[in-house]
Amino acid sequence: MRPLIFELLLLSSLVELALGSSQTPFKSPLGEQEYWKPTHPIRSVAIIGAGPAGLQAAAAFAEEAPDIAVRLFDRAPVPGGNWFYSEQLPVRETYPSSQSKPVELPSSLPTTYFHHEGEAGVSLDERWREHWAPRPVWHGMKINSAMPSTTLPGVGYPPGTPWQASVHAVQRHVRAYASLHALNVLDSPNVTSYATRVDALEKRGDSWVLSLRRMQPFSGTEDRLRVDVWEESFEAVVLAMGVDGNAYIPDIPGINAWSRVRREDGHWPLHHSQSFRHVNDYVNKTVLIVGASVSATGIARELGPHVKRLLLSSLPNPIRDAYGLDILFGVPSNAERFGEIIEFKPLLTNLSDIRQGKIHVRLFENTTATTTLEGIDEIILATGYRLDSFVTDLLHPQEMSNLHWTGHYLHDPTLAYVHSRPWTHGRYQCTSIARVWRDPPTARLPSQAEMWADYREGKWNFGMPLDVLPQEALIRMYVAWLNSEALELGGRMIAPIPLEDREINTYFTSLHWRKDWFEHEKFERFDKLPSSEWPEPGPF
């Protein structure tokens, strides 16, 4: 078996040196435009991830390309993606983060084996949680966007749902969408495989080969877990599992010793934010949160009214400051701000309590001055995640490297990554992927040479979700492209996002974040701009 990196280098060389031999372009009726075309018709597609993006992708293929056989995989036992709330916690992370070990695959496939309680000193509960990785959402979590713009097509929220909906309301909404499209657990026809982890993705010849591992409880005379490992081949793959990977723990001096402190009730006072669930566990305590992004500030707002003292430590973040992201990542008024942690001082005595320990930190406003924190009951590391899955062998999912603006992989457009915000852009991107891959296509990509040229020139760059106007431009691109193709090739017309959604989002932002951050008039001015004058991503 040749390693994936070899396959990618080979693909890249073929694209650069002999494009026509690996992908056959075809021309429009007027012969004016060359288009990408797969080497043979696509008959099977794997979709990895059953959150809002992956579910929309599966639904799009059922509607736009019903002749293509679809398989939907997710490591969780049910659909929902990051919106599947569970009381179960992820397995304990390592302190600090270490290099991930390659996944070991059995020498002979397919195969089935069983895990028993206490085998190799590991409980069945821990093996199960390691396999499906409970998601990093907490019981009191609320969305930071208006509920009307956090909606999947064809499914509503119950009357009376607050605009700042709870994680539980969103979870039910996503699962209702899965049921509507026969993508829930045990739905028929069953195209899904839940509790199934994708261990590897490799291109072999004309096929993408997925190495799959499904784990399920086995009812019998004793408790055990059944594990099935096998491979499946597909002609195209949709990656729809977001950007989260394993929890990232920074290598701060002393952090390993502090991470070994465990209370008599089994609780770890130093833990990653992925294990935060209930406010009641922190009432009347002194809590230090490390980080300043979505999880850090969301948890801070949740804890603020209930803790004895709230401390926040974070590194300088020029990008956040330039965008003015304090409007979204604001902290409660009782939070005390500090700069980065320099050192966790050695613990001298009790290994079941960190309150006597001292932490050396920089001041928030003066990064050269320092101080010492002590008397801390809980430390929550909201320090993000490591992108160390098989996806990073192909592209960098945060930087969108090697991707056309449609999400197709430039080296081989039979791979696509759903990289846009699923609630607002997902329906357009998923429809476009299905229309491009169906036979005959009802939407076409430019030739690979043209896509590479646009990519290298940075021609189509729509930034991140908070680049509001460039993201509006991205929707315009999808609508104009898909409808233009539908006129020539057939297919239904695609409607843009309703104009009233702008008013909703502007009002919601003014009400919950900051009144002067965005105004409806900016949308109106943008409407009059030709594409040559669209604003670049970045602070506005």
- 78-87, 100-109, 152-161, 288-297: the lowest-pLDDT one: 100-109
Give the chain's count of helices (H) and strands (E). 13, 20
Are 539 and 324 in contact by the 8 Å Cβ rule? The answer is yes
Residue 434 near residue 59, CB atoms below 8 Å: no
Ranking 202-211, 390-399, 501-510 by mean pLDDT, the lowest is 390-399
The reported pTM is 0.90
Q: Which residues pair with 142 in a beta bridge?
A: 166
Q: What is the mean pLDDT of residues 12-16?
A: 38
Angle at CA of residue 464, ends 486 and 337, nearest 5°: 160
Return mean pLDDT, the chain.
Answer: 87
Lowest mean pLDDT among 51-55, 86-90, 101-105, 322-326: 322-326
Radius of gyration, CA atoms only, the chain: 25
The architecture in CATH of the region 248-385 reads: 3-Layer(bba) Sandwich (3.50)
Read off the amino acid at residue 380: I
Average pLDDT, integer, range 497-525: 80
pLDDT at 28 over 70: no
Q: Which CATH architecture has domain 37-91+120-214+229-244+387-447?
A: 3-Layer(bba) Sandwich (3.50)
Q: Among 86, 89, 49, 75, which residue's Cα sits nearest to residue 178? A: 49
Of residues 364 and 10, more confidence is placed in: 364
Residue 464 CB coordination number (10 Å): 15
**Six token digits for residue 109:** 């496939």
CA-nearest of 471, 470, 461 to 424 is 471
What residue ranges of the chain are covered by domains with CATH 3.50.50.60?
A: 37-91+120-214+229-244+387-447, 248-385
Each residue's pLDDT tens digit, 376-395 = 999 999 999 887 666 666 76
By mean pLDDT, which of 60-69, 148-157, 389-398, 411-420 is the weakest?
Answer: 389-398
Which residues lie closer than 8 Å to 83 by C-beta, 6 or more apart? 51, 52, 135, 137, 167, 170, 171, 174
Q: How confident is the model at residue 32 (pLDDT cuts 50, 70, 90)?
A: low
The structure tokens listed for 439 are 């036979």
Please report, to the nearest 10 degrees, the dihedral formed by the alpha carbons of residues 135, 213, 245, 505 taken in order.
Answer: -50
What confidence tens digit (pLDDT) does each residue in 239-276 have? 998 765 789 999 999 999 999 999 989 999 999 999 99
Comparing 156-165, 317-326, 411-420, 472-481, the range with the smallest average pLDDT is 317-326
Residue pair 466/328 in contact (Cβ under 8 Å)? The answer is yes
Residue with tokens 């694209």: 15
Q: Which three-class secondary structure string do you get for 408-440?
A: EECCCCCEEECCCCCCCCHHHHHHHHHHHHCCC
Coil, strand or helix: which one is 489?
Answer: helix
pLDDT cut 70: percent of the chain above it: 87
What's the pLDDT tens digit per position in 419-446?
A: 889 999 999 999 999 999 999 999 999 9
Higher-pLDDT residue of 164 and 330 is 164
Sign of CA dihedral 364, 365, 368, 373: negative
Greatest pairwise CA separation for the chain in angstroms: 81
- Reading the block at residue 432, the tokens are 């476009």
Q: Hey, is 65 helix, strand or coil?
A: coil
Predicted confidence at residue 523, as pLDDT, reads 84
What gap in Å lies between CA 447 and CA 453, rounded to an integer? Answer: 10
3-class secondary-structure state, position 197: strand
